Amino acid sequence: MKNILIGLTLLIGVSFFTSCQDSLDLEPKSAIGDNGFYKNTAEIEAAVFAMYDGLQNVVLREFALTEMRSDNSKTKNSEGEWAQFETMDVSPNNGTLSTYWTDLYNVVFRANKVLQNLDVVTSDEAKAQFEGEAKFVRALAYFNLTRGFGDVPLVTKIIVPGDEVGQVKVLSSSVLDQIELDLNDAISKLTTRGDVEEGRATIGAAQALLAKVKLTRGDYTGARTLLETIVGSGDYNLAGTYRDVFYSELNSEVIFAVQFLNDHAVESQDFSYEFTKLGRNSGLNYVTSDLVAAVGTTDTERIGVLYNPEDVKENGKFISSSSDNRLCGNDWVILRLADVYLMHSEAILAGQSETTDASAIASYNMIRSRVNLSTLATDGSAALTKEMLFHERRVELAFENHRLYDLVRSGEAERVMGDFASANGFTFNGTKLLLPIPQREIDTSFGILKQNPGY
């Protein structure tokens, strides 16, 4: 089912040069500690796999800090620390918040470890691939850090505990500069989807992520160029049905996903379980009535996937087929072609209220056509509005951790979340769009790391 299996240890003795059609069967042969000395190509490749393993930890609860802090999802019973996310009132002492920060910086550490030890790789081709993967993964981690927390420490080398560079905030603009540098370098070094095992970073993944970074920064021309390159590459195609995207894994639409395996003691996830009423936390990432109203009743193909048919309040995108419902194998999709098409429309819209551009409308229509919904004329007689586009993103990408950041990027976050808060009985102000810095991190820095405003 999966072409890359990522263990919790660094896995040694795996050759890089395998056909993309081969399964990457990683059997633990030995382990190197985080401070181990890397001596050869196989050991560096094992460190590369460890980066992807770190991303597994990141996505386990990322939904709480993204979807549940938007108008898309909530807890079933508003219990404990989880309720802080749905009311956008997260405490700096929240355990999930602290774990998320730690997991992201652990991924940064693993990427820096690869980059620091590339000199032992004798093949120029392998060295370029490893460097590209490490820079893609580091960029992804920092993009999530700066979108979530704003200004954050920027660490691009291995440091020792207590090093001030890991405790002093850097402006988010500088973090984004580094992300762009990493992704441009990754694009120059990575290969296409057809030339590497499924699950590893590709040039398409780096281009898609860089396009999203550029949209976030308002560089619409740069984003458009990247997005049109991805579409024109022929490496990706929309899955035949909306359901196929999530239940026919590693399909032609997926550009980058974090992989899991059913019924595996190490490589499984439990978020699929937590999204049900059986979850330990009595249900997380539940569908809000606001999202149900936004989807409407005519969007039948997506409705059949968005909501669990056995309980329409439950998220339906991640229903497990595992025999142990705590050892689920559903992948977490981070980048896919539908997102690329909608970003393409957004890049052409370029912050304006509407466009009649045929290319923007054609990309929008691609998403609508797949689910048998009405489309717009491309002859200039119809306009694609900003509201229509971001509504389509909300429905198409629901529960995929895009909604809150889409609202911020669109400039509508304070208005939309303010209205949502009023309708649901909690207070909201714009400072809550950023998460608090975990108190544990502030304490261990002896106050060098400063808290975000409003907390």
149 touches 435 (CB < 8 A)? yes
Q: Give dist(CA 409, CA 223) in Å, integer.
A: 14
List, as one string, the DSSP characters of 187-204.
Answer: HHH---GGGS-TTS--HH
- Stated pTM of the model: 0.93
Phi, psi (deg, nearest 5) at residue 328 = -95, 150
For 6-42, the three-class secondary structure string (H helix, E strand, C coil) is CCCCCCCCCCCCCCCCCCECCCCCCCCCCCCCCCCHH
Q: Tokens 């560089």, residue?
A: 219
Q: Which of the four CATH numbers 1.25.40.890, 3.40.50.620, 3.40.50.300, 3.10.510.20 does domain 1-56+91-201 have?
A: 1.25.40.890
Distance, CA of 16 to chain centre: 25
CA dihedral in degrees (268, 271, 276, 277; nearest 10)? 110
Phi, psi (deg, nearest 5) at residue 205 = -65, -45
Residue 232: predicted pLDDT? 97
Largest CA-CA distance found in the chain, in angstroms, rounded: 64
Report the 10 Å Cβ neighbour count for 431: 12
Residue 300: predicted pLDDT? 97
Please name the amino acid found at residue 273: Y
Q: Give dist(CA 327, CA 343) in Å, integer.
A: 34
Q: Tokens 């978020």, residue?
A: 271
Name the average pLDDT for the chain.
92
Residues present in the chain in total: 455
Residue 148: predicted pLDDT? 98
Phi, psi (deg, nearest 5) at residue 209 = -65, -40
Residue 241: predicted pLDDT? 98
Q: Give dist(CA 367, CA 67) in Å, integer.
A: 21
Q: Give dist(CA 186, CA 120) in Å, integer.
A: 19
Locate 311 and state its tokens. Answer: 């309980």
In this structure, are strands 307-308 and 311-315 parallel, antiparallel, or unpaired? antiparallel
Locate 69 and state its tokens. Answer: 């802090």
Q: Give dist(CA 135, CA 151) in Å, integer.
A: 20
171 touches 127 (CB < 8 A)? no
Low-confidence spans in the chain with pLDDT less than 70: 1-37, 282
In this structure, are strands 254-258 and 332-336 parallel, antiparallel, or unpaired? antiparallel
Identify the CA nearest to 75 among candidates 303, 321, 306, 315: 315
CA dist list (Å): 235 to 194, 254, 367: 8, 10, 18
227 touches 343 (CB < 8 A)? yes
236 touches 204 (CB < 8 A)? yes
Locate 326 and state its tokens. Answer: 């705590």
